[in-house]
A = this chain, B = another copy of it.
Amino acid sequence: MNQDLIAGIDLGGTKILTAVADRQGNILSEIYLPTEAERGTSVILNNLCRSVSLAMSKAGFQGEPGALGIGVPGAVDKGIVHLAPNLGWKEFDLGRELPRIFNCKVETANDANLAALGEYVFGAGQGSSNMLYVTVSTGIGAGIVYRGELFTGESGTAGELGHTTILPEGPLCTCGNYGCLEALASGTSIARQARELVKAGYGQGILPYVDKHLSAKAVGQAARNGDADAIRIIEGAGRYLGLGLSIAVNLLNPSRIILGGGVMDMSDLLWPSLEKEFNTRAHRGAKKVVKLVPAALGSRSGLMGAVALARRLR
C-alpha cells in the first residue's frame, strides 16, 4: 500500500473515471474505463478494481493507494446504495463488497454530493464553507457543503432539488410528481418542450440544428442564432432554475451557489432570466450574502470530490 497516495473514482452509468493523487490533491494520473453496467455487478466491481490498478501503474506505482473515495450515481448512505438505476443497483450493500476488492480505506458518497465537495476543495467553492452545488444536465442534482463538510441529512438524500415541486400544476416528472424542477429546467425538459412545439407545428427554427434527435444542445444553438421559440424555452428554464435556487437559498443560507452540468454550457443564454427570477424571489437576508458562480471543474468535479473524500480518510 502507498500511504502517500490517494485515489478517487467517479463511477458513472457508462464510464468509470479514476484519478490517483498525492495527499495534497495533486493529480498524478487519470484514466477511464467503460462501466459495462449491462454485464452485471461482478463486472462493475472488477472494473472498479482494474481502474485503480491501471491508474496506479500510469502514475508509476504498484499496489493500492492509501485511501479511496468513490462517487456513486444514486442514493447512497453508509455504504448502502438504495437506488442507482444506471447500475441496476437497489438496496445494494456496496460497503460490504468493497473490502473484498480493496485493502485500503474506502468511502462512498453520492456523485452530486462529491461534485459539491470537489468544487469546494479544488474549484469554484474554495473559501466558501457554506455552499450549494447544483448540476443541470440530463437531470438536476445538488450537493450541500456546510461548515466545510458534506451536509447529507438523515439518510444521505439531502439536496434533492431536482425532484422538488417548483410549479404545483406543472408537467409530469419521471418521478411521478408534477412540476418538479427537473421536469421544467433539465436538458431533458428543454428537449421535450422543443419536441412538443415541433409536433404542434411550431419551432421550425430549431430543426436546422437537430442532429439525429432534438437535444437541449440544438435548442441552445437555435437560441444563440436568434430563434424566438428556442429563446423562450431557454429563458423559461432559466426562470425556473432561478426560482428553484431562491428556495434552496432561503432554506440553506449559503454564501455561494455553484452551477455546473452540461446545460450550463449555455449559461450565457440562461443566466439573465435565472438571475432576474432569483433576485425577485430570494429573501433579503439570504440573498445579501450569496454569490451565484459557474462551476470551475466541469465534468471533473465529481472525480475531484472523490479525491477530496479520500484525502479525508486516515
Q: Would you call A285 an interface residue if the criterion is a C-beta within 8 Å of the partner chain's C-beta atoms?
A: yes
Asked whether any CB of chain B lies closer than 8 Å to the CB of A157, the reply is yes
A130 and B154 contacting across the interface, CB-CB below 8 Å? yes
Complex alpha-carbon distance, A155 and B130, angstroms: 10
A273 to chain B, nearest CB (A): 13
CA distance A283 to B253 in the complex (A): 22
Determine the chain B residues whose CB is within 8 A of the CB of A168 once the complex forms: 166-167, 243
User: For A75, what are the chain B residues with a Cβ–Cβ distance below 8 Å?
Assistant: 285
Q: Is the CB of B154 within 8 A of A290?
A: yes
Query: Does B83 contact A163, Cβ atoms closer than 8 Å?
Result: no
Q: Is A108 an interface residue (CB 8 A)?
A: no
Q: Are A164 and B247 in contact (CB under 8 A)?
A: yes
Any B CB within 8 A of the CB of A186: no
Query: Smallest CB–CB gap between A1 and chain B, Å?
Result: 32
- Residue-wise interface mask of A (152-173) relative to B, using a CB-CB cutoff of 8 A (1 in contact, 0 not): 1111111111011111100000
Chain B neighbourhood of A82, CB < 8 A:
285
- In the complex the two chains form, is B254's CB within 8 Å of A154's CB? yes
A246 in the interface (beta carbon within 8 A):
yes
Q: Say whether, besides A164-B247, A247-B247, A251-B248, A285 and B175 are in contact (CB < 8 Å).
A: no
Given known contacts A75-B285, A154-B254, A155-B288, what 17 new A-B pairs fall within 8 Å (CB)? A144-B251, A151-B151, A153-B286, A154-B290, A155-B289, A156-B253, A157-B286, A158-B286, A159-B253, A160-B251, A160-B286, A163-B283, A164-B283, A168-B243, A177-B280, A247-B251, A251-B251
Kindly state whether residue A250 has any CB partner on chain B within 8 Å.
yes
19 contacts between A and B (CB under 8 A): A142-B251, A146-B151, A153-B254, A155-B253, A155-B288, A156-B253, A156-B285, A157-B285, A157-B286, A158-B251, A158-B286, A159-B251, A164-B246, A166-B168, A168-B243, A175-B284, A177-B281, A247-B247, A247-B251
Interface string of A260-272 (1 = CB under 8 A from B): 0000000000000
A246 B165 Cβ-Cβ under 8 A = yes
| Interface flags, A74-108, vs B, CB<8A=1, else 0 | 01000000110000000000000000000000000
B252–A251 contact, CB under 8 A?
yes
Is A35 part of the binding interface, using a Cβ–Cβ cutoff of 8 Å?
A: no
Q: Does A137 contact B (CB under 8 A)?
A: no
A255 contacts partner chain B, Cβ-Cβ < 8 Å:
yes
Listed from nearest, the 7 A-B pairs whose CB atoms lie closest are A153-B253, A157-B285, A158-B253, A160-B250, A154-B255, A163-B283, A130-B154
